[in-house]
Structure 1
Amino acid sequence: MLDKPVLRGRLVTLRPLNVEDASAIFASMEDAETMRLTGTQQQFALPQIEAFCRAVVDADDRADYAITLGDDPAYIGEAVLNNIDWTNRTASFRIALAGQRYFGHGYGSEATRLMLDYGFRHLNLHRIELEVYDFNPRAQWVYEKAGF
């Protein structure tokens, strides 16, 4: 099983995603703007999200983290390294905040920096890539600040 330590920053804490996060993930999918910015077009039922959360806990090819505020364990988003290729030391990155009320506070920027540090220093990855839509300049700015 992939080592997934808790990652702490000044604003946010990243903890491994778990099945208890499923209801918050489900609720976040009610935010149309978040769905648009992440390109999520499919609707998911709560049991599907619970099954997904159970599956990623023990996965060796991905690191799914819940973004939380400080010591409050409540889910406000997720940051993920997935498609980890251990042979070539590469991974893909994605992040989503659980609604517009979390935008513009630096949470996504700090979570991105924490995940990149984890990927490069802890997992010894050589390349982390991502995709971003051209209609999401806020995300583009976060990624550029982080070195993408």
Structure 2
Amino acid sequence: MEMNRMIDFSNKPTITGEKVILRPFMVEADFPYLVECLKDPEVLKLTGSDSGFDQEEVLKWYQTRNGQTDRLDLAIVDKQENHLVGEVVVNLYEEADHSMNFRILIGPRGRNRGLGTEATRLTVDYVFANTNLNQLTLSVFAFNPRAKKVYEKTGFVLDSIDKDDLQYEGEWIDAINMKLTREAWQGTK
């Protein structure tokens, strides 16, 4: 009997850690904090994004996140402050490898306190414990060593490098592609 390869993320969990809560978006309450994150100069740099976006379009986008079945989008909430500081996303299913992409965004209110590390670990653990995915993949720009270190601590390893993937302030920046297999994750448990 063939294993069902499709991933169903119609159930959006609430995952509670020591420092953060990962939960479905509550767009009205979260939106001012989301805008703050999306306009933050460091977020723009580290994600390779530009600052020009239409708030109405962004609002519409986030209003649809909880209804997506083919991806997992969760707000990262700082337990101490009780407001959104970022988001975690698992998306882009690849049938050939039975894998999905992981990404995280931490805004200015959530940096340098271990919130991103915990949110990454909680998301990875949830995905491997609740799906049959073979691996998670991600891409991080070379000028973001802090994120690369978080990913390595979580078990991600170098897969490949896309040379000169992003032009930033006149310089070309490599993208470092990493992966975490189910087998490697199980070895850390």
Does TM-score exceed 0.5, indicating one fold?
Answer: yes
* TM-score in terms of structure 1 length: 0.89
**Higher share in strand:** 2
Equivalent in the alignment of 1:132? 140
Moved over 4 A (4+): 85-88
Give, in angstroms, the shift of residue 3 of structure 1.
1.1
Distance 1:111 1:51, change over 3 A: same
Structure 1, gaps ≥5 residues long: none
Aligned positions, number: 147
Larger deviation, residues 84-93 vs 64-73: 84-93
1:116 pairs with one of 121, 124, 135: 124
Larger deviation, residues 56-65 vs 39-48: 39-48
Amino acid at match of 2:68: A
Matched, 1:41 2:89: no
* TM-score in terms of structure 2 length: 0.71
CA distance in 1, matches of 2:133, 2:80: 28
CA distance in 2, matches of 1:47, 1:98: 20
Q: Which has the larger radius of gyration?
A: 2
CA displacement 1:70-112 (0-9 Å, x = unmatched): 275411100111113578532100001111x422211000000
Please provide the CA RMSD for this pair.
1.9
Structure 2, gaps ≥5 residues long: 1-8, 157-189
CA distance in 2, matches of 1:109, 1:118: 14
Larger deviation, residues 117-126 vs 70-79: 70-79
SS at 1:128 equivalent: strand
Equivalent in the alignment of 1:50? 59
Larger deviation, residues 24-33 vs 2-11: 24-33
Structure 2 contact 39–51 (Cα < 8 Å) conserved: no
Give, in angstroms, the shift of residue 42 of structure 1.
5.0
